[in-house]
């Protein structure tokens, strides 16, 4: 890919992520937020794997896949903050949001530098695979946690 194609790909990723935040947030207010987070996380893993394994031909299909991946991945953070604040008293919301933003900021600062150590020329795609693996693990943990809570409520 040439530089202009990479820039267009990243622009589609971020722009569609920005556009999808409002509809996904509205949807998570109307139905179970955990269901929306789980569905969006699963879609993120699937679209990420499709990108990793080069399942889309170059050009517009790859651009659309990157846009879908951004539309699913970027809103997850906002949905998780909303989920964290759902059960909190108003007095604790600012402190909790501050802690989540701090954790996110540390990861956003260290992540690219750490990833560059693993994405040398002989390990192409490793970072995408690692991100997909992490998203799958997060999705699986959320599913297990919700399953336990559901079983506890049914007893």
CATH of the domain at 94: 1.20.1250.20
One digit per residue, pLDDT tens: the chain, 155 residues? 688 888 898 999 999 999 999 999 999 999 988 889 889 988 998 998 888 777 778 888 889 999 999 999 999 888 888 888 887 888 888 888 888 888 888 878 887 777 777 666 665 566 666 666 667 777 666 666 666 555 554 44
pLDDT for 13 equals 92
CA distance 70 to 10: 9
pLDDT for 154 equals 44
Distance in angstroms between the alpha carbons of the first and the last residue of the chain: 56
pLDDT for 58 equals 82
Burial 2-34 (b: 16+ CB within 10 A, else e): eeeeeeebeebbeebbeebbeebbeebeeeebb
- Which range of residues forms the domain containing residue 129? 3-154
pLDDT for 23 equals 95
Q: With contact defined as beta carbons under 8 Å apart, do 59 and 12 qualify?
A: no
Q: Which long-range contacts (CB under 8 A, 24 or more apart) does 26-32 make?
A: 28/79, 28/82, 28/83
Number of domains in the chain: 1
For residue 136, give both structure tokens: 């799958």
């Amino acid at each position: 890919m040439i530089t202009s194609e990479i820039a267009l790909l990243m622009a589609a990723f971020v722009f569609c992520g920005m556009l999808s935040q409002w509809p996904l947030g509205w949807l998570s207010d109307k139905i179970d937020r955990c269901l929306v987070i789980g569905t969006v996380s699963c879609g993120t893993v699937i679209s990420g794997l499709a990108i990793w394994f080069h399942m889309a031909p170059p050009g517009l299909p790859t651009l659309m896949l990157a846009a879908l991946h951004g539309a699913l991945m970027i809103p997850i953070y906002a949905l998780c903050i909303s989920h964290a604040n759902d059960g909190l008293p108003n007095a604790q919301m600012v402190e909790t949001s501050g802690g989540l933003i701090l954790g996110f900021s540390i990861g956003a600062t260290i992540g690219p530098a750490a990833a560059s150590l693993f994405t040398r020329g002989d390990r192409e795609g490793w970072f995408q695979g690692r991100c997909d693996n992490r998203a799958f693990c997060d999705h699986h943990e959320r599913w297990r946690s919700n399953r336990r809570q559901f079983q506890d409520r049914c007893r």
